[in-house]
Amino acid sequence: MKLTEKQITYIENYIKSFDIKYYEVYMEILDHMILSVEDLLDNNKEVTFEEAVVKAKVEGFGKKGFRGMMNEKQKLAQKHARKQNHKMIKEYFTFPKIIMTLSVFVGYLLFLSFFDDPRKAFVSSLASIMFIGLFQFFYYNKFLKIKKFYVLKTEMLNIGFLLFIAVFQLSNSVLILGKESIDFNHILMRLFMASVFTFSLISLLVYIEIRKKTIAELKTQIFV
């Protein structure tokens, strides 16, 4: 039997009472619950609708329940996001993208040689990358929620951005702590700055590429 709108609303509120955080997980649970309850009511005329709802939850989601499923989906999404991010970064160190990576590294190393104080040029360069990254991040965050639920794909993409932020903060710490004691004109320091700049740029490019793909998926799957 097909459930009424009132019954579907009851199931929706029942699921929401378990504090489900992500829209994709909520919709998957809702679809499963509706089909299960309909099947239970068709096969057992003595069971009430409310009893069928509870039974569908127990049979379909076990002891861990809805939150157990949400946690599993979150772990899988995190694993996928890390794998995707690492894979795309790795591509910049294999042919043919490694040519671009080396070009950026060598070009930036030469760029630093034009400055008496390469630290200031380095700070300005990272600040520019960070500004672009923040612009991308805030633009993307309009896809963060739908119907008061977080979008799992959007939240997981932020893992890549947090890696980008971590590199930036580490570099800033070195610059601040070593402002008076480090010789920023030393070749090893220039190599370090060129490496950080190159990796930061690669991280930004990977973030932008994944962001574009994810937005395209969300627009067709959720934000229609």
Task: Read off the pLDDT of residues 82-140 as tens digits, 9 standing for 90 and up.
Answer: 888 889 999 999 999 999 999 999 999 999 999 988 988 988 898 888 888 888 777 77
Residue 82, Cβ density class (10 Å: 0-12 exposed, 13-18 middle, ≥19 buried): middle
Q: Quick check: 183 pLDDT over 90? A: no
CB atoms within 10 A of CB 119: 18
Q: Does one domain contain both 78 and 56? A: no
* The model's pTM: 0.83
Whether 20 maps to a domain, the answer reads yes
Number of domains comprising the chain: 2
- Which residue range(s) make up the domain with 15? 5-63
Whether 87 maps to a domain, the answer reads yes
Whether 68 maps to a domain, the answer reads no
